[in-house]
A and B are shown apart, each in its own frame.
Chain A
Amino acid sequence: MKKLVLMLSTVVLSLAINMQAQAGNVETLQSEYQAAGAGNFSASNGEKMWVKNNLDKKSGKQRNCQTCHGKVLTQSGKHARTGKVIEPLARSVNSERLTDIKFMKKWLKRNCKWTIGRECSAQEKGDFLEYLKGQ
Protein backbone atom coordinates (compact mmCIF):
# COMPACT_ATOMS: atom_id res chain seq x y z
CA MET A 1 0.00 0.00 0.00
CA LYS A 2 2.78 2.39 0.99
CA LYS A 3 4.60 1.49 -2.16
CA LEU A 4 1.55 2.28 -4.25
CA VAL A 5 1.08 5.67 -2.59
CA LEU A 6 4.76 6.44 -3.15
CA MET A 7 4.51 5.40 -6.80
CA LEU A 8 1.35 7.41 -7.38
CA SER A 9 2.73 10.52 -5.75
CA THR A 10 5.90 10.21 -7.84
CA VAL A 11 3.77 10.03 -10.97
CA VAL A 12 1.66 13.01 -9.92
CA LEU A 13 4.74 15.01 -8.97
CA SER A 14 6.55 14.28 -12.23
CA LEU A 15 3.42 15.17 -14.19
CA ALA A 16 3.18 18.46 -12.33
CA ILE A 17 6.83 19.25 -13.00
CA ASN A 18 6.42 18.27 -16.61
CA MET A 19 3.41 20.54 -17.05
CA GLN A 20 5.28 23.38 -15.42
CA ALA A 21 8.20 22.88 -17.81
CA GLN A 22 5.91 22.72 -20.85
CA ALA A 23 3.87 25.75 -19.98
CA GLY A 24 6.53 27.86 -18.29
CA ASN A 25 5.94 31.54 -18.01
CA VAL A 26 6.65 34.62 -19.96
CA GLU A 27 9.66 35.56 -17.81
CA THR A 28 11.36 32.28 -18.65
CA LEU A 29 10.94 33.02 -22.34
CA GLN A 30 12.24 36.54 -21.89
CA SER A 31 15.38 35.31 -20.12
CA GLU A 32 15.81 32.90 -22.98
CA TYR A 33 15.78 35.87 -25.36
CA GLN A 34 18.27 37.66 -23.14
CA ALA A 35 20.54 34.67 -23.24
CA ALA A 36 20.31 34.96 -27.01
CA GLY A 37 21.73 38.48 -26.82
CA ALA A 38 18.86 40.82 -26.01
CA GLY A 39 19.27 43.59 -23.44
CA ASN A 40 16.66 44.96 -21.05
CA PHE A 41 13.13 44.92 -22.34
CA SER A 42 10.98 48.00 -22.79
CA ALA A 43 7.21 47.99 -22.81
CA SER A 44 7.08 51.35 -24.60
CA ASN A 45 9.33 50.08 -27.41
CA GLY A 46 7.08 47.04 -27.64
CA GLU A 47 4.03 49.25 -27.92
CA LYS A 48 5.61 51.42 -30.63
CA MET A 49 6.38 48.33 -32.68
CA TRP A 50 2.89 47.01 -31.98
CA VAL A 51 1.14 49.94 -33.64
CA LYS A 52 3.76 50.76 -36.31
CA ASN A 53 2.38 50.33 -39.82
CA ASN A 54 4.17 48.13 -42.31
CA LEU A 55 3.34 48.17 -45.99
CA ASP A 56 2.61 44.78 -47.50
CA LYS A 57 3.86 44.98 -51.06
CA LYS A 58 1.61 42.28 -52.41
CA SER A 59 -1.69 43.69 -51.19
CA GLY A 60 -0.57 47.33 -51.03
CA LYS A 61 -2.16 47.56 -47.59
CA GLN A 62 -0.73 48.70 -44.27
CA ARG A 63 -0.50 46.14 -41.53
CA ASN A 64 0.21 46.25 -37.84
CA CYS A 65 -0.55 44.01 -34.89
CA GLN A 66 -3.90 45.73 -34.41
CA THR A 67 -5.03 44.57 -37.85
CA CYS A 68 -5.93 41.25 -36.30
CA HIS A 69 -5.74 41.78 -32.54
CA GLY A 70 -7.87 44.92 -32.55
CA LYS A 71 -7.23 48.32 -31.02
CA VAL A 72 -8.26 47.29 -27.50
CA LEU A 73 -6.35 44.31 -26.18
CA THR A 74 -8.93 43.50 -23.54
CA GLN A 75 -11.38 42.85 -26.35
CA SER A 76 -11.30 40.13 -28.95
CA GLY A 77 -9.82 40.69 -32.41
CA LYS A 78 -10.57 39.29 -35.81
CA HIS A 79 -8.39 37.43 -38.30
CA ALA A 80 -7.79 39.83 -41.21
CA ARG A 81 -8.49 37.27 -43.89
CA THR A 82 -10.93 34.76 -42.45
CA GLY A 83 -12.73 36.94 -39.90
CA LYS A 84 -12.27 34.27 -37.23
CA VAL A 85 -12.50 35.71 -33.73
CA ILE A 86 -9.18 35.96 -31.88
CA GLU A 87 -9.55 35.84 -28.10
CA PRO A 88 -8.32 38.93 -26.20
CA LEU A 89 -4.55 39.14 -25.73
CA ALA A 90 -4.62 40.98 -22.40
CA ARG A 91 -3.99 38.57 -19.57
CA SER A 92 -6.11 40.75 -17.28
CA VAL A 93 -9.16 39.32 -19.08
CA ASN A 94 -7.71 36.12 -20.57
CA SER A 95 -5.67 34.16 -18.05
CA GLU A 96 -4.47 31.67 -20.68
CA ARG A 97 -2.35 34.32 -22.36
CA LEU A 98 1.45 34.38 -21.86
CA THR A 99 1.44 30.99 -20.13
CA ASP A 100 2.66 28.62 -22.82
CA ILE A 101 6.21 29.11 -24.12
CA LYS A 102 5.79 26.93 -27.18
CA PHE A 103 2.61 28.80 -28.14
CA MET A 104 4.20 32.22 -27.63
CA LYS A 105 7.26 31.29 -29.70
CA LYS A 106 5.17 29.95 -32.54
CA TRP A 107 2.94 32.99 -32.85
CA LEU A 108 5.70 35.55 -32.34
CA LYS A 109 7.46 33.90 -35.24
CA ARG A 110 4.48 33.58 -37.57
CA ASN A 111 2.92 36.91 -36.83
CA CYS A 112 6.17 38.89 -37.17
CA LYS A 113 6.59 37.34 -40.58
CA TRP A 114 3.06 38.21 -41.69
CA THR A 115 2.95 41.69 -40.19
CA ILE A 116 6.50 43.00 -40.67
CA GLY A 117 7.58 40.67 -43.45
CA ARG A 118 10.48 39.18 -41.49
CA GLU A 119 11.14 37.33 -38.27
CA CYS A 120 11.66 39.53 -35.22
CA SER A 121 14.89 39.76 -33.26
CA ALA A 122 15.16 38.46 -29.69
CA GLN A 123 15.11 42.06 -28.48
CA GLU A 124 11.92 42.88 -30.42
CA LYS A 125 10.13 39.74 -29.24
CA GLY A 126 11.09 40.45 -25.64
CA ASP A 127 9.81 44.02 -25.99
CA PHE A 128 6.48 42.79 -27.35
CA LEU A 129 6.14 40.47 -24.37
CA GLU A 130 7.06 43.27 -21.97
CA TYR A 131 4.30 45.41 -23.48
CA LEU A 132 1.76 42.59 -23.37
CA LYS A 133 2.60 41.71 -19.76
CA GLY A 134 1.19 45.06 -18.65
CA GLN A 135 -2.13 44.57 -20.39
Chain B
Amino acid sequence: MVQPKKKRVWDLPTRLFHWLLVLAFALAWATYDDSRHLDIHTISGYTFFALLLFRLVWGVVGSHYARFSEFNYTPGEVLSYLHSLFGDGTKYYIGHNPAGAWAIFILITLGLLLSTTGLIVLGGEEQQGLLAGYISFDQSEPFRMLHEMIAWGILTLVIVHVSGVIIESLLQRENLIGAMFRGTKWVVGESAMVPAHRLIASLIFISAIIWGGLSLNTYLISSDDQPYQPFKGPSLAMNDLWNEECGACHLAFHPSLLPARSWQYLFTQQENHFEEDLMLDEETLSELLNYARENSAEKNKTEAAWKINRSVMKNERPLKITSITYWKEKHSEISDAIWQKKSVQSKSNCGACHFDAEQGTFQDSAMKIPD
Protein backbone atom coordinates (compact mmCIF):
# COMPACT_ATOMS: atom_id res chain seq x y z
CA MET B 1 0.00 0.00 0.00
CA VAL B 2 1.33 3.43 -1.02
CA GLN B 3 1.41 5.91 1.81
CA PRO B 4 -0.59 9.10 1.06
CA LYS B 5 1.41 12.30 1.13
CA LYS B 6 0.27 15.77 2.15
CA LYS B 7 0.44 17.87 -1.00
CA ARG B 8 -0.68 21.40 -1.87
CA VAL B 9 -3.56 21.20 -4.34
CA TRP B 10 -5.24 24.62 -4.13
CA ASP B 11 -2.95 27.62 -4.45
CA LEU B 12 -3.45 30.64 -2.20
CA PRO B 13 -5.14 32.95 -4.79
CA THR B 14 -7.72 30.22 -5.57
CA ARG B 15 -8.56 29.79 -1.89
CA LEU B 16 -8.71 33.53 -1.29
CA PHE B 17 -10.95 33.87 -4.35
CA HIS B 18 -13.23 31.13 -3.06
CA TRP B 19 -13.78 32.54 0.42
CA LEU B 20 -13.97 36.18 -0.63
CA LEU B 21 -16.59 35.14 -3.19
CA VAL B 22 -18.56 33.41 -0.44
CA LEU B 23 -18.28 36.52 1.73
CA ALA B 24 -19.31 38.88 -1.07
CA PHE B 25 -22.30 36.73 -2.00
CA ALA B 26 -23.41 36.39 1.61
CA LEU B 27 -23.16 40.15 2.21
CA ALA B 28 -25.06 40.91 -0.98
CA TRP B 29 -27.71 38.38 -0.04
CA ALA B 30 -28.09 39.80 3.46
CA THR B 31 -28.67 43.30 2.09
CA TYR B 32 -30.69 42.61 -1.04
CA ASP B 33 -34.11 43.46 0.31
CA ASP B 34 -33.04 46.42 2.37
CA SER B 35 -32.68 49.55 0.31
CA ARG B 36 -31.07 51.34 3.22
CA HIS B 37 -28.06 49.07 2.70
CA LEU B 38 -27.96 49.23 -1.04
CA ASP B 39 -24.47 50.63 -0.74
CA ILE B 40 -23.20 47.45 0.93
CA HIS B 41 -25.10 45.36 -1.60
CA THR B 42 -23.48 47.24 -4.46
CA ILE B 43 -19.99 47.14 -2.99
CA SER B 44 -20.37 43.38 -2.46
CA GLY B 45 -21.61 43.05 -6.02
CA TYR B 46 -18.61 44.84 -7.48
CA THR B 47 -16.33 42.68 -5.34
CA PHE B 48 -18.12 39.55 -6.54
CA PHE B 49 -17.76 40.65 -10.16
CA ALA B 50 -14.06 41.53 -9.80
CA LEU B 51 -13.36 38.16 -8.13
CA LEU B 52 -15.03 36.29 -10.99
CA LEU B 53 -13.04 38.24 -13.57
CA PHE B 54 -9.89 37.35 -11.67
CA ARG B 55 -10.95 33.69 -11.66
CA LEU B 56 -11.40 33.74 -15.44
CA VAL B 57 -7.79 34.86 -15.81
CA TRP B 58 -6.59 32.47 -13.10
CA GLY B 59 -8.36 29.61 -14.85
CA VAL B 60 -5.92 30.12 -17.71
CA VAL B 61 -2.68 31.19 -16.03
CA GLY B 62 -3.12 29.79 -12.50
CA SER B 63 -1.57 26.67 -11.03
CA HIS B 64 -2.35 23.16 -12.31
CA TYR B 65 -5.58 22.31 -10.46
CA ALA B 66 -6.95 25.86 -10.82
CA ARG B 67 -6.85 25.73 -14.63
CA PHE B 68 -10.10 25.22 -16.50
CA SER B 69 -8.36 22.82 -18.88
CA GLU B 70 -7.64 20.54 -15.92
CA PHE B 71 -11.31 20.04 -15.06
CA ASN B 72 -12.88 20.35 -18.48
CA TYR B 73 -14.98 17.18 -18.28
CA THR B 74 -17.64 16.04 -20.77
CA PRO B 75 -21.27 15.56 -19.68
CA GLY B 76 -20.69 11.82 -20.12
CA GLU B 77 -17.89 11.91 -17.56
CA VAL B 78 -20.18 13.76 -15.13
CA LEU B 79 -22.88 11.12 -15.53
CA SER B 80 -20.51 8.24 -15.05
CA TYR B 81 -19.02 9.98 -12.01
CA LEU B 82 -22.48 10.49 -10.48
CA HIS B 83 -23.33 6.88 -11.30
CA SER B 84 -20.16 5.67 -9.63
CA LEU B 85 -21.19 7.41 -6.40
CA PHE B 86 -23.87 4.76 -5.99
CA GLY B 87 -21.52 1.92 -6.84
CA ASP B 88 -18.35 0.96 -5.05
CA GLY B 89 -15.68 1.93 -7.55
CA THR B 90 -15.65 5.64 -7.02
CA LYS B 91 -12.89 7.16 -9.06
CA TYR B 92 -10.56 9.39 -7.11
CA TYR B 93 -9.81 12.91 -8.36
CA ILE B 94 -7.04 15.00 -6.84
CA GLY B 95 -8.51 18.26 -8.13
CA HIS B 96 -12.14 18.88 -8.98
CA ASN B 97 -14.33 15.87 -9.73
CA PRO B 98 -16.53 16.13 -12.89
CA ALA B 99 -19.70 17.09 -11.00
CA GLY B 100 -17.84 19.72 -8.97
CA ALA B 101 -16.19 21.02 -12.12
CA TRP B 102 -19.55 21.52 -13.81
CA ALA B 103 -20.92 23.21 -10.70
CA ILE B 104 -17.99 25.62 -10.90
CA PHE B 105 -18.50 26.43 -14.57
CA ILE B 106 -22.21 26.99 -14.05
CA LEU B 107 -21.56 29.07 -10.92
CA ILE B 108 -19.08 31.29 -12.74
CA THR B 109 -21.48 31.74 -15.66
CA LEU B 110 -24.42 32.53 -13.40
CA GLY B 111 -22.17 34.78 -11.32
CA LEU B 112 -21.20 36.81 -14.38
CA LEU B 113 -24.87 37.04 -15.39
CA LEU B 114 -25.75 38.09 -11.86
CA SER B 115 -23.12 40.84 -11.97
CA THR B 116 -24.25 42.05 -15.37
CA THR B 117 -27.95 42.17 -14.51
CA GLY B 118 -27.02 43.85 -11.22
CA LEU B 119 -25.15 46.57 -13.08
CA ILE B 120 -28.10 47.02 -15.43
CA VAL B 121 -30.58 47.39 -12.56
CA LEU B 122 -28.22 49.72 -10.70
CA GLY B 123 -27.76 51.83 -13.81
CA GLY B 124 -31.45 51.94 -14.68
CA GLU B 125 -33.23 52.03 -11.36
CA GLU B 126 -30.76 54.06 -9.34
CA GLN B 127 -28.96 55.81 -12.21
CA GLN B 128 -25.72 54.77 -10.52
CA GLY B 129 -22.72 52.64 -11.32
CA LEU B 130 -20.93 51.85 -14.57
CA LEU B 131 -24.10 51.85 -16.69
CA ALA B 132 -25.72 54.98 -15.20
CA GLY B 133 -27.07 57.19 -17.95
CA TYR B 134 -27.13 54.44 -20.56
CA ILE B 135 -30.22 52.63 -19.37
CA SER B 136 -33.68 53.95 -18.58
CA PHE B 137 -35.88 52.85 -15.70
CA ASP B 138 -38.26 51.03 -18.03
CA GLN B 139 -35.47 49.17 -19.78
CA SER B 140 -33.95 47.97 -16.53
CA GLU B 141 -37.17 46.71 -15.00
CA PRO B 142 -37.22 43.15 -16.41
CA PHE B 143 -33.60 42.71 -15.36
CA ARG B 144 -34.51 43.19 -11.73
CA MET B 145 -36.58 40.01 -11.77
CA LEU B 146 -33.86 38.23 -13.75
CA HIS B 147 -31.24 39.37 -11.24
CA GLU B 148 -33.27 37.87 -8.40
CA MET B 149 -33.91 34.61 -10.25
CA ILE B 150 -30.22 34.17 -11.02
CA ALA B 151 -29.36 34.81 -7.38
CA TRP B 152 -31.79 32.09 -6.29
CA GLY B 153 -30.27 29.80 -8.94
CA ILE B 154 -26.83 30.44 -7.49
CA LEU B 155 -28.03 29.78 -3.97
CA THR B 156 -29.54 26.48 -5.10
CA LEU B 157 -26.33 25.52 -6.81
CA VAL B 158 -24.33 26.48 -3.73
CA ILE B 159 -26.44 24.08 -1.70
CA VAL B 160 -25.80 21.33 -4.28
CA HIS B 161 -22.09 22.19 -4.28
CA VAL B 162 -21.80 22.07 -0.49
CA SER B 163 -23.76 18.79 -0.37
CA GLY B 164 -21.42 17.37 -2.99
CA VAL B 165 -18.40 18.46 -0.98
CA ILE B 166 -19.81 16.78 2.12
CA ILE B 167 -20.54 13.55 0.22
CA GLU B 168 -17.06 13.55 -1.29
CA SER B 169 -15.52 14.27 2.09
CA LEU B 170 -17.26 11.21 3.53
CA LEU B 171 -16.26 9.03 0.60
CA GLN B 172 -12.64 10.16 0.64
CA ARG B 173 -12.52 10.32 4.43
CA GLU B 174 -10.97 13.75 4.13
CA ASN B 175 -12.34 17.14 5.21
CA LEU B 176 -12.52 18.88 1.83
CA ILE B 177 -13.87 22.11 3.34
CA GLY B 178 -10.72 22.23 5.45
CA ALA B 179 -8.70 21.58 2.31
CA MET B 180 -10.12 24.76 0.76
CA PHE B 181 -8.69 26.62 3.77
CA ARG B 182 -5.36 24.84 4.10
CA GLY B 183 -4.84 24.20 0.40
CA THR B 184 -3.45 20.70 1.06
CA LYS B 185 -4.91 17.24 0.56
CA TRP B 186 -3.63 13.74 1.30
CA VAL B 187 -2.64 12.53 -2.12
CA VAL B 188 -1.94 8.94 -3.14
CA GLY B 189 0.55 8.66 -5.97
CA GLU B 190 1.78 11.40 -8.27
CA SER B 191 0.33 14.90 -8.27
CA ALA B 192 1.24 18.13 -10.03
CA MET B 193 3.46 20.75 -8.39
CA VAL B 194 1.36 23.60 -7.02
CA PRO B 195 3.19 26.77 -5.97
CA ALA B 196 1.55 28.89 -3.25
CA HIS B 197 1.60 32.09 -5.34
CA ARG B 198 1.93 34.18 -2.20
CA LEU B 199 2.73 37.42 -4.02
CA ILE B 200 -0.42 37.33 -6.13
CA ALA B 201 -2.45 36.29 -3.11
CA SER B 202 -1.05 39.23 -1.11
CA LEU B 203 -1.99 41.59 -3.92
CA ILE B 204 -5.56 40.28 -3.91
CA PHE B 205 -5.73 40.50 -0.15
CA ILE B 206 -4.35 44.05 0.00
CA SER B 207 -6.66 45.20 -2.81
CA ALA B 208 -9.64 43.70 -1.00
CA ILE B 209 -8.69 45.49 2.23
CA ILE B 210 -8.14 48.83 0.51
CA TRP B 211 -11.33 48.53 -1.55
CA GLY B 212 -13.37 47.50 1.49
CA GLY B 213 -11.86 50.27 3.58
CA LEU B 214 -12.46 52.96 0.98
CA SER B 215 -16.01 51.79 0.40
CA LEU B 216 -17.06 51.36 3.97
CA ASN B 217 -14.90 53.84 5.90
CA THR B 218 -17.82 56.25 6.17
CA TYR B 219 -19.49 53.79 8.51
CA LEU B 220 -16.53 54.20 10.84
CA ILE B 221 -16.65 57.99 10.93
CA SER B 222 -20.43 58.20 11.25
CA SER B 223 -22.22 60.44 13.71
CA ASP B 224 -25.84 60.86 14.77
CA ASP B 225 -26.53 63.55 12.18
CA GLN B 226 -24.77 61.71 9.41
CA PRO B 227 -24.80 58.00 10.28
CA TYR B 228 -23.05 57.11 7.02
CA GLN B 229 -22.24 58.71 3.74
CA PRO B 230 -25.14 58.35 1.34
CA PHE B 231 -24.35 56.35 -1.77
CA LYS B 232 -24.60 59.19 -4.22
CA GLY B 233 -26.00 59.16 -7.72
CA PRO B 234 -26.00 62.12 -10.10
CA SER B 235 -27.19 65.39 -8.58
CA LEU B 236 -30.35 67.11 -9.78
CA ALA B 237 -30.91 70.58 -11.18
CA MET B 238 -31.40 73.15 -8.41
CA ASN B 239 -33.05 76.54 -8.59
CA ASP B 240 -32.30 79.27 -6.05
CA LEU B 241 -35.63 81.00 -6.51
CA TRP B 242 -37.49 77.72 -5.98
CA ASN B 243 -35.52 76.95 -2.84
CA GLU B 244 -36.07 80.44 -1.50
CA GLU B 245 -39.79 80.73 -2.29
CA CYS B 246 -40.90 77.21 -1.43
CA GLY B 247 -38.28 76.66 1.23
CA ALA B 248 -39.45 79.63 3.31
CA CYS B 249 -42.43 77.72 4.68
CA HIS B 250 -41.67 74.06 4.04
CA LEU B 251 -39.11 71.75 2.52
CA ALA B 252 -38.61 72.91 -1.06
CA PHE B 253 -39.99 69.66 -2.47
CA HIS B 254 -38.08 68.87 -5.63
CA PRO B 255 -40.16 69.18 -8.83
CA SER B 256 -39.39 65.54 -9.61
CA LEU B 257 -41.87 64.55 -6.89
CA LEU B 258 -45.00 65.55 -8.84
CA PRO B 259 -46.04 65.41 -12.48
CA ALA B 260 -45.92 68.66 -14.48
CA ARG B 261 -49.73 68.93 -14.60
CA SER B 262 -49.79 68.97 -10.80
CA TRP B 263 -47.28 71.82 -10.63
CA GLN B 264 -49.20 73.71 -13.28
CA TYR B 265 -52.42 73.37 -11.29
CA LEU B 266 -50.70 74.20 -8.02
CA PHE B 267 -49.37 77.49 -9.36
CA THR B 268 -52.56 78.51 -11.14
CA GLN B 269 -54.26 78.31 -7.78
CA GLN B 270 -51.53 80.07 -5.89
CA GLU B 271 -54.01 82.26 -3.95
CA ASN B 272 -55.26 79.12 -2.25
CA HIS B 273 -52.06 77.22 -1.59
CA PHE B 274 -53.06 74.97 1.30
CA GLU B 275 -55.01 77.91 2.71
CA GLU B 276 -52.28 80.44 2.09
CA ASP B 277 -51.99 83.04 -0.61
CA LEU B 278 -48.55 82.81 -2.20
CA MET B 279 -48.81 86.27 -3.84
CA LEU B 280 -46.10 85.45 -6.35
CA ASP B 281 -45.67 87.91 -9.21
CA GLU B 282 -45.85 86.87 -12.85
CA GLU B 283 -42.10 86.78 -13.37
CA THR B 284 -41.49 84.61 -10.30
CA LEU B 285 -44.35 82.31 -11.21
CA SER B 286 -43.09 81.68 -14.70
CA GLU B 287 -39.54 80.92 -13.56
CA LEU B 288 -40.83 78.51 -10.92
CA LEU B 289 -43.16 76.83 -13.36
CA ASN B 290 -40.44 76.45 -16.00
CA TYR B 291 -38.12 74.85 -13.48
CA ALA B 292 -40.93 72.55 -12.33
CA ARG B 293 -41.80 71.50 -15.91
CA GLU B 294 -38.20 70.81 -16.84
CA ASN B 295 -37.65 68.61 -13.81
CA SER B 296 -41.07 67.12 -13.13
CA ALA B 297 -41.72 63.47 -12.30
CA GLU B 298 -42.22 62.60 -16.00
CA LYS B 299 -38.57 63.41 -16.66
CA ASN B 300 -37.67 60.26 -14.71
CA LYS B 301 -34.58 61.82 -13.19
CA THR B 302 -34.70 59.69 -10.06
CA GLU B 303 -36.09 56.34 -9.02
CA ALA B 304 -38.68 58.15 -6.88
CA ALA B 305 -39.72 60.34 -9.83
CA TRP B 306 -40.13 57.33 -12.07
CA LYS B 307 -42.18 55.39 -9.55
CA ILE B 308 -44.31 58.39 -8.58
CA ASN B 309 -45.12 59.10 -12.20
CA ARG B 310 -46.00 55.44 -12.81
CA SER B 311 -48.41 55.37 -9.91
CA VAL B 312 -50.37 58.53 -10.80
CA MET B 313 -53.31 58.03 -13.17
CA LYS B 314 -53.16 60.14 -16.31
CA ASN B 315 -56.43 61.87 -15.36
CA GLU B 316 -55.23 62.72 -11.86
CA ARG B 317 -53.23 65.75 -10.81
CA PRO B 318 -52.40 65.24 -7.14
CA LEU B 319 -51.31 68.30 -5.17
CA LYS B 320 -50.04 66.41 -2.17
CA ILE B 321 -47.07 64.12 -2.63
CA THR B 322 -48.32 62.13 0.35
CA SER B 323 -51.57 61.34 -1.47
CA ILE B 324 -49.77 59.43 -4.23
CA THR B 325 -50.20 55.63 -4.19
CA TYR B 326 -46.48 54.97 -4.50
CA TRP B 327 -45.71 57.29 -1.58
CA LYS B 328 -48.36 55.61 0.58
CA GLU B 329 -47.15 52.11 -0.18
CA LYS B 330 -43.54 53.04 0.37
CA HIS B 331 -44.37 54.52 3.79
CA SER B 332 -47.03 51.99 4.84
CA GLU B 333 -44.78 50.23 7.32
CA ILE B 334 -43.95 53.37 9.25
CA SER B 335 -45.82 53.38 12.53
CA ASP B 336 -47.82 56.28 13.95
CA ALA B 337 -45.33 56.43 16.80
CA ILE B 338 -42.61 57.38 14.34
CA TRP B 339 -44.76 59.98 12.56
CA GLN B 340 -45.53 61.57 15.92
CA LYS B 341 -41.92 61.78 17.01
CA LYS B 342 -40.73 65.26 17.83
CA SER B 343 -38.14 65.15 15.10
CA VAL B 344 -40.72 64.11 12.50
CA GLN B 345 -44.20 65.45 13.36
CA SER B 346 -45.39 66.01 9.81
CA LYS B 347 -45.53 63.74 6.79
CA SER B 348 -44.25 66.66 4.78
CA ASN B 349 -41.06 66.69 6.82
CA CYS B 350 -39.16 64.43 4.41
CA GLY B 351 -35.82 65.58 5.79
CA ALA B 352 -36.49 63.92 9.15
CA CYS B 353 -35.50 60.58 7.63
CA HIS B 354 -34.14 61.41 4.15
CA PHE B 355 -30.82 63.22 4.44
CA ASP B 356 -30.92 64.16 0.78
CA ALA B 357 -34.51 65.46 0.78
CA GLU B 358 -33.35 68.98 -0.13
CA GLN B 359 -31.36 67.63 -3.06
CA GLY B 360 -34.43 65.67 -4.20
CA THR B 361 -32.47 62.51 -4.90
CA PHE B 362 -34.06 60.34 -2.19
CA GLN B 363 -31.31 57.75 -2.37
CA ASP B 364 -32.14 54.45 -0.75
CA SER B 365 -29.04 54.63 1.35
CA ALA B 366 -29.50 58.26 2.42
CA MET B 367 -32.18 57.40 4.88
CA LYS B 368 -32.48 56.69 8.57
CA ILE B 369 -35.61 56.36 10.64
CA PRO B 370 -34.98 58.16 13.94
CA ASP B 371 -34.59 55.88 16.97
Top 6 nearest A-B pairs (CB, nearest first) are: A82-B250, A83-B346, A83-B345, A84-B250, A79-B249, A110-B279
A110 proximity list for chain B (CB < 8 A)? 276-279
The dominant DSSP class at the B interface is: loop
- Say if the beta carbon of B349 comes within 8 Å of chain A: yes
Write the chain A residue with the least CB distance to B281.
A106
B345 to chain A, nearest CB (A): 5
B277 to chain A, nearest CB (A): 6
A59 proximity list for chain B (CB < 8 A)? 275
A84 to chain B, nearest CB (A): 5
**22 A–B pairs (Cβ distance < 8 Å), ordered by A:** A58-B275, A59-B275, A79-B250, A81-B249, A81-B275, A81-B276, A82-B250, A82-B251, A82-B346, A82-B349, A83-B345, A83-B346, A83-B349, A84-B250, A84-B251, A106-B279, A109-B279, A110-B276, A110-B279, A113-B277, A113-B279, A114-B276
The dominant DSSP class at the A interface is: loop
B274 to chain A, nearest CB (A): 7
B277 proximity list for chain A (CB < 8 A)? 110, 113-114
* Chain A stretch 52-81: residues in CB contact (< 8 A) with chain B: 58-59, 79, 81
- Tell me the count of chain B residues lying within 8 A, CB to CB, of chain A: 13
- Say if the beta carbon of B348 comes within 8 Å of chain A: yes
Give bound CA distance, A84 to B346, whole Å: 10
Checking A58, A84, A109, A113 against B249 with a beta-carbon cut-off of 8 angstroms, the contacting residue is: A84
B250 to chain A, nearest CB (A): 4
Give bound CA distance, A59 to B275, whole Å: 10
A120 to chain B, nearest CB (A): 13
> How many Cβ-Cβ contacts under 8 Å join chain A to chain B?
30
- Tell me the count of chain A residues lying within 8 A, CB to CB, of chain B: 12
Enumerate chain A interface residues (CB-CB to B < 8 A).
58-59, 79, 81-84, 106, 109-110, 113-114
Write the chain A residue with the least CB distance to B280.
A106
A114 proximity list for chain B (CB < 8 A)? 276-277
User: Is B249 within 8 A of A82, CB to CB?
Assistant: yes
A84 proximity list for chain B (CB < 8 A)? 249-251
User: Is A81 within 8 A of B345, CB to CB?
Assistant: no
A106 proximity list for chain B (CB < 8 A)? 279
Give bound CA distance, A102 to B147, whole Å: 55
A79 to chain B, nearest CB (A): 5
A104 to chain B, nearest CB (A): 13
User: Is A82 within 8 A of B348, CB to CB?
Assistant: yes
Write the chain A residue with the least CB distance to B344.
A83
Give bound CA distance, A43 to B250, whole Å: 30
* Chain B stretch 177-204: residues in CB contact (< 8 A) with chain A: none
Q: Could you give, for residues 336-358 of chain B, a 1 whenever the CB lies within 8 Å of some chain A CB and a 0 otherwise? A: 00000000011011000000000
Give bound CA distance, A109 to B279, whole Å: 9
A79 proximity list for chain B (CB < 8 A)? 249-250
Write the chain A residue with the least CB distance to B277.
A113
Give bound CA distance, A106 to B3, whole Å: 96
